[in-house]
Homo-oligomer: A and B are copies of this chain.
Amino acid sequence: MDDRASVLSANLAFYQAFERKDPVAMRNVWAGAASDCCIHPGWEIARGWAAIRATWTSIFANDTPMSVIPEQVGVDVWGNVARVVLVERVSMDGEAIGRVAVTNLFVRTPEGWRMTLHHGSPITPSEEEEEPDDIH
């Protein structure tokens, strides 16, 4: 498997852990290092695995079924660092709740590619999407 395919596989493992609210799988996705960073939409920066784990514990405590579909996925690899930039289409309980622009960063380790950064920012709906114009 080439680097891009391996990185996409690590990225997919992240979304599977996320949707399944699986703390063990989520731990295995991350490097687990002091330099790990995670910024959820609207949140402060969580630095280091201990702080990041606490954010997932809080998110996974909500037991509403959640779907997070990656779209517009772009991958770049520079040596031992890989970047995935994408848009997440997020639904809760089957209802679309919004789109999130995401940067996922991975580092190559002896165990394979591991996440060192997840940064998500809510995409503000355009006026057309938010307020359909019935007049025209």
Binding site for B on A (CB under 8 A): 35, 37, 39, 41-45, 47, 72, 74, 76, 78-81, 83, 85, 87, 101, 103, 105, 107, 116-117, 119-124
Inter-chain CA distance A130–B122, complex, in Å, is: 19
Q: Which residues of B contact A85 (CB under 8 A)?
A: 37, 39, 45, 47, 117
Considering residues A41, A74, A81, which has the most beta carbons from chain B within 10 angstroms of its beta carbon?
Answer: A81
A59 to chain B, nearest CB (A): 15
Inter-chain CA distance A120–B101, complex, in Å, is: 10
When the two chains form their complex, are residues A79 and B81 in contact, meaning their CB atoms are under 8 A apart? yes
Copies of this protein in the complex: 2
Q: Which residues of B contact A37 (CB under 8 A)?
A: 74, 83, 85, 103
When the two chains form their complex, are residues B35 and A76 in contact, meaning their CB atoms are under 8 A apart? yes
Given the interface contacts A37-B74, A39-B101, A103-B37, does A44 sit within 8 Å of B81 by beta carbon?
Answer: no
A78 to chain B, nearest CB (A): 5
List 20 extra interface pairs beyond A35-B76, A78-B81, A78-B107, CB under 8 A.
A37-B83, A39-B101, A39-B103, A39-B121, A42-B121, A42-B122, A42-B124, A43-B101, A44-B101, A45-B72, A45-B85, A45-B101, A47-B85, A79-B81, A83-B105, A83-B116, A85-B117, A103-B103, A103-B117, A122-B122
When the two chains form their complex, are residues A80 and B79 in contact, meaning their CB atoms are under 8 A apart? yes
